[in-house]
A = this chain, B = another copy of it.
Amino acid sequence: MDFDDIVRTRRSVHQYTDEPIDQETLEAIFETASLAPSGYNLQPWEFLVIGEEKAKANLAEVAYGQEHVTDAAVAVVILGTTDLTAHADAVFDDWLAKEYIPDEEVKTALLENVEAMNEMPEDERRIWTTRSSALAAMTLIYAAWDHGVASCPMEGFDPAGLVETFEIPDGYEPVMLVTLGYPAEDASDIENTRKGRRPVDEFVHYESFEPAPKTSLEVPGEDGD
């Protein structure tokens, strides 16, 4: 689908059909998501895909009972490693093989950079992994819609409960949930007028930053703006 159409027709959808998403489609969506950029190409994301009924019920429970978690075909828990070094060696070997860097010496220097960054306090590493993992999550959401699969990104869940329920080991940040499923025919999220957006001239600032005193919302492309 045309990218602009994807962005303009995507909605956060809460109502799904019972149709499952076949494995081939899921894998294609995940493969596209893998092409998201990340700092140093370190790709800190892990996708935990929950599709079994009992597991979806457990996930809904840590998501404050939100029903679209169980109604969706699957819910993807986006996790991010807080260990910056997790994939660094393989990543820089790849750079070396493809001549993004000239030699082992540069690779060693890059590894040392990443190891030094890994000394950041835990909160900074949580921010680091949230940043890149959200880039992959956004790509996942658009890739899903490109296959006709609707989604709902969710940050409303109890991270400690999630970690306990799904036995997530230390060192992984639960970044967000993304439910995936085919949209119900009469899904109100699709039928309704799109939720408003802050206008470009409010959130874009040229050369210097002065926040707008008050927010106004509009729907780009739908109200003549």
- Partner-B contacts on A (CB < 8 A): 1-4, 6-8, 10, 12, 27, 30-32, 34-37, 39, 41, 43, 45-52, 55, 77, 79, 81, 86-87, 89-91, 93-95, 98-100, 123, 126-128, 130-132, 134-135, 137-139, 141-143, 146, 153, 155-156, 166-169, 172, 175-176, 192-193, 195-200, 203-209, 211, 214-217, 220-221
Contacts and interface: CB of A to CB of B under 8 A. Distances in A.
A31 B143 CA distance: 20
Copy number in the complex reads 2
B155 A3 contact: no
Contacts of A141: 37
Given A47-B204, A215-B87, A156 B39 contact: yes
B175 A131 contact: yes
Nearest to A26: B204
